[in-house]
Amino acid sequence: MQYLSKCQKATLCQLARRAWELWPEREAFLRANPEYSATAAFEAWRRVQQRQACGVESLRSCTSEHHYLLLRSHWNAAIGNHERAASDLLKHANEARLVVLHKLRESCLERGLDYPGYPGAICRRQYKCALEDAGEKQLWRLVYTVRNRRRKDGSRPAPKSSRRSSQPDTGGRPSPSVQANLPF
């Protein structure tokens, strides 16, 4: 999980400020909330708008993957830039799909399999659709199908390193150095 960068936060705040200045009910909001300064009123309004857009009030709690495009889309729509807002919503919807396609490609290359030919053939056979038309859930299933396949030479890909695999296999017995310290 990666939080918003300073640049992303600045972009969102600039768009929010522009939306605040263009908001037709701003003056009425300021009159209805005299206990707030203009800056505090803006901050309160911005947080409410952010909660409506993505469910999170604070930019410190927002993550790049989940919230940035939703917020940017919301602010662009508020300032009247509807084409950019629609574009951001489409990018947000396709972002998860792009991650799955990247993982599918990596898995194929790891095993020496043809990408997109190999997963495309499986997709057509199992789901009766082209790889481009497969849903996100179907693509994840393809990733796991490809990961379970052997390499061209018949061997399995090397497992990712872990703590357990870096220690010698002693067949469940204590290692010789541990046996020397045992009291029996």
Looking at the structure, tell me whether residues 47 and 99 fall in a common domain: no
pLDDT digits (tens, 9 = 90+) for 31-45: 999 999 999 999 999
- Domain end marker among 54, 80, 106: 80
pLDDT in the model for residue 22:
96
Rounded CA-CA distance 145/131 in Å is 14
pLDDT in the model for residue 184:
44
Looking at the structure, tell me whether residues 68 and 104 fall in a common domain: no
Looking at the structure, tell me whether residues 62 and 10 fall in a common domain: yes
Assign 49 to helix, strand or coil.
helix
Assign 15 to helix, strand or coil.
helix
Looking at the structure, tell me whether residues 69 and 102 fall in a common domain: no
Q: Please state the domain count of the chain.
A: 2
Looking at the structure, tell me whether residues 60 and 123 fall in a common domain: no
pLDDT at 106 over 80: yes
Looking at the structure, tell me whether residues 52 and 107 fall in a common domain: no
Domain for residue 184, yes or no? no
| Better-predicted residue by pLDDT, 164 or 10 | 10
pLDDT at 65 over 50: yes
Assign 94 to helix, strand or coil.
helix
Of the ranges 18-27, 60-69, 95-104, the best mean pLDDT one? 18-27
Nearest to 76 by CA among 43, 49, 42: 49
Looking at the structure, tell me whether residues 51 and 12 fall in a common domain: yes
Over the chain, what is the mean pLDDT? 83
Domain for residue 170, yes or no? no
Length of the chain: 184
pLDDT digits (tens, 9 = 90+) for 72-97: 999 999 999 988 988 888 788 777 78
* Token pair belonging to 102: 């990247």
What would the 3-class secondary structure string for the chain be?
CCECCHHHHHHHHHHHHHHHHHCCCHHHHHHHCCCCCHHHHHHHHHHHHHHHHHCCCCHHHCECCCCHHHHHHHHHHHCCCHHHHHHHHHHHHHHHHHHHHHHHHHHHHHCCCCCCHHHHHHHHHHHCCCHHHCCHHHHHHHHHHHHCCCCCCCCCCCCCCCHHHHCCCCCCCCCHHHHHCCCC
Domain for residue 105, yes or no? yes
pLDDT at 19 over 80: yes
Domain for residue 159, yes or no? no
Angle, helices 6-22 vs 38-54, to 10°: value is 110
Domain that holds residue 33: 6-80
pLDDT in the model for residue 153:
56
- Domain end marker among 33, 49, 80: 80
Looking at the structure, tell me whether residues 98 and 48 fall in a common domain: no
Cα-flanking dihedrals φ and ψ of residue 33, to 5°?
-125, 65
pLDDT at 53 over 60: yes
pLDDT in the model for residue 141:
93
